[in-house]
Amino acid sequence: MRTSAGAAPKFLNLLQIRFPIGAIASIGHRISGVLLVLSLPLVALALDRSLRGEAEFAALRDLVSAPWRAALLILFVWAATHHLLAGIRHLLMDAGIGSGLPQARTSAWAAIVGAAAVALIAAARWLS
């Protein structure tokens, strides 16, 4: 199929596009928000179960001690931390604080690195 100018249409390969760090932080904010919304029912059930008594809390702790479940919890920690840090970043930028390009890049890196650091610390504590 040809366009009106006669050139063949160009299809973008999203894996070859190099996104700026601000876009990566923003996309991460959206992804973390979706993960948090999807995990909300499970978190509510876990909270309900954990508050029923010591035996239920211990059973829940044993349930989440499996490696793949621990990985899901660490992903949840990353999502919560990244969403919080990126949300604060967006709110401050909306208020005109740190909206210059150098400050925006620095705050994007801070949100990404901060969330990764908290998730790694949680993983180290969980798996030790």
Q: Is residue 27 part of a domain?
A: yes
Give pLDDT, residue 2: 53
Is the pTM of the predicted complex or chain greater than 0.95?
A: no
Domain of 36, CATH number, reads: 1.20.1300.10
- Residue 102 structural domain: 21-127
Q: Is residue 8 part of a domain?
A: no
Least confident range from 23-27, 35-39, 60-64, 103-107: namely 60-64
Q: Is residue 77 part of a domain?
A: yes
Do 82 and 111 touch, CB atoms closer than 8 A? yes
Do 74 and 122 touch, CB atoms closer than 8 A? yes
How many domains does the chain contain in total? 1
pLDDT tens, residue by residue, 41-75: 999 999 999 999 999 999 988 888 888 888 899 99
Question: Within a 13 Å sphere around the CA of 10, how many CA atoms are in the beta-carbon half?
Answer: 5
